[in-house]
Structure 1
C-alpha cells in the first residue's frame, strides 16, 4: 500500500480520536457540573471554535476528519487489505462506506463553520423530506445504529480488532496491555451510547417528528436521568475517552496489510 495512503489513514485515526476524547471529556465535565455542557460530536466542534485560534483548530480537525473519510472510502472501494468479496466481507466494506459518509459530513461541517456567517441562524429549516416518509427513514437509521451497537459488542467479545496491531511483534508488555484494555473499554462504551441513540430514533419514528431526533448529547442526557445519575454518564464518558485514546494508538501502532 502506498505510504501516502497510510499517512492519510493515520491522520484520520488521530482526528477521530480527538473527536471521541473531547466528547468524553466534555460529557464527563457536564455530568459533574465541572464545565461545558457541549456534548456530542457537533458540541465538540463548537467547543473548539470557541477556543483561542478556534478556527485554526477546527480547520485542522476538519481536514483530519476528511482524511479519515477518504480512508474509509478507499477501504470500501479499493479493498487495499484484501478483506474479500464474501457476503460478510462485502457487508463490512459497506459499513466502511457509510462510516466514510458520516465523517465526510463532519469534516465538511467543520470547515463550513469557519466561513459560516454568524447571522445565518434565520435560514430556512423547512424539511426537504416529505413527512409521510420520515418514520421509515427514522426506523432505518435506528435499525442501522442498533446493528452498529451490536457489532461493537461483538468486536469487543471476539477481540479481532487486536489483529491490526500484530501484538506479538510489540516487545513492550505495558504497551500491549494498554492497547488491549483501551480498545475493550472504548468499544463497549461506544456500543452503549450508539444503542441509546438507536433507541431515540425508534422513538422519533413512532411520532414521525423531527423534533424528536436525538444524538449523542441526548444519549448522555438519557444516562443522567437514570437512577445512577451522573456516575453512569461519567463512566460512559470515560469509556469514550478510552476509545479516543485507542484511536490515537491506532494512529501510532496500527499495521496495514499490503
Structure 2
C-alpha cells in the first residue's frame, strides 16, 4: 500500500493546483495594463521599421546609416529626448515580449497539440526578438552602444570556431530565410487580416491591406537576403561577411538593379511601419 507523503497533495490535486495557477497567470496576462504596454510595444516596433525604411531609402541617395534596428535606435537616441525615448522603447518592447510569451505558453495550452507547438515556436521566437530589441534600447539608455553588423559577424565567427559550427550557421541562415518566406507568403495571402478588426470591406480596409501586403513582402525579402548571408558565410568560410540586415541591404547597392530593389524594400519597410501603427491601435490582442 502506497503511503502519501505529508503535505504533498495527490496527483489529481496537484494537477488542479497547477491548472489554477496557470489560469491565474493567464488572467493576469489579460490585464488592461499589459494590453496597453504591449500595444505601445507594437507602436515602438512600427517606428523602428519606418526609420529603417527611411535609412534604406537614404542609402540609395548616398547618405550614411545603418538600415537595421540598432541603426534606427541610434537615430532615435540622437534627439534631445533620447534617454526618455530609449527607456520608453525598452518598456514597450519588454511588455510586448511578455505578451508574446504568454501567447506561446498560457493561451497556447488551450489549442490542439499541433497548433500548440506552432504557437510555441512562432510566439516564442517573437518574444525573444522583441526582448532583444528592448535590451538594445536599454543599452543605449545607459550609454552602451554597439554596431549590429560587427556583432553579427562576431557571433558568426564564434559559431564557426565551434564543432559543427558551419552546419549550425547554415541552419541559422536557412531558418532566417524561412521566416522571410513566411512573411512573403503571409503578405501575398493577406493572412495579416486576422490580426486586425474594424477594417474589413471598407475603403480604409483596402489601404490597410495594400500597406500590409507591401510591408510583409518587403520585410520577408530582407530577411531572406539576411539568411542567405549566413549561408554564404558558412559556405565560403568567411564569417565576417554575415553582417545582418544592414549588410544584406547594402550589398544590393553593388548589383545592377540593386538600388531599385533597395529603394523598394525601404519603401516597403515604411509601409510595414505604418501598418504596424494601425495594428497597435486596432489589432486583436
- Is the CA contact 1:32–1:230 (under 8 Å) kept in the aligned structure 2? no
- CA offset at residue 96 of structure 1? 1.2
Instruction: Provide the residue aligned with 1:77 in structure 2.
Output: 105
- CA offset at residue 80 of structure 1? 6.7
- Is the CA contact 1:186–1:242 (under 8 Å) kept in the aligned structure 2? yes
Instruction: Provide the residue aligned with 2:170 in structure 1.
Output: 139
- CA offset at residue 81 of structure 1? 10
Instruction: Provide the residue aligned with 1:190 in structure 2.
Output: 219
Task: List gaps (5 residues or longer) in structure 2.
Answer: 1-29, 146-153
Structure of higher CA gyration radius: 2
- Number of equivalences: 247
- Is the CA contact 1:49–1:57 (under 8 Å) kept in the aligned structure 2? yes
Q: State the alpha-carbon separation in 2 of the partners of residues 6 and 44 from structure 1.
A: 25
Instruction: Write the deviation string for residues 161-186 of structure 1: whole angstroms up to 9, x where unpaired.
Output: 202223xx448833212221111110
Task: List gaps (5 residues or longer) in structure 1.
Answer: 119-124
Q: State the alpha-carbon separation in 2 of the partners of residues 77 and 217 from structure 1.
A: 33
Q: State the alpha-carbon separation in 2 of the partners of residues 55 and 133 from structure 1.
A: 42
Q: State the alpha-carbon separation in 1 of the partners of residues 51 and 264 from structure 2.
A: 15
- Is the CA contact 2:188–2:217 (under 8 Å) kept in the aligned structure 1? no
Residue of 219, 223, 229 corresponding to 1:200: 229
- CA offset at residue 44 of structure 1? 0.9
User: Counterparts of 1:36-55 in structure 2 under 5 Å?
Assistant: 36-55=64-83
Higher relative contact order (CA 8 A, sep 6+): 1
TM-score (ref. length: structure 1): 0.86
Quote the RMSD (CA, aligned, Å). 2.5
Between 128-137 and 9-18, report the one with greater CA deviation: 128-137
TM-score (ref. length: structure 2): 0.78
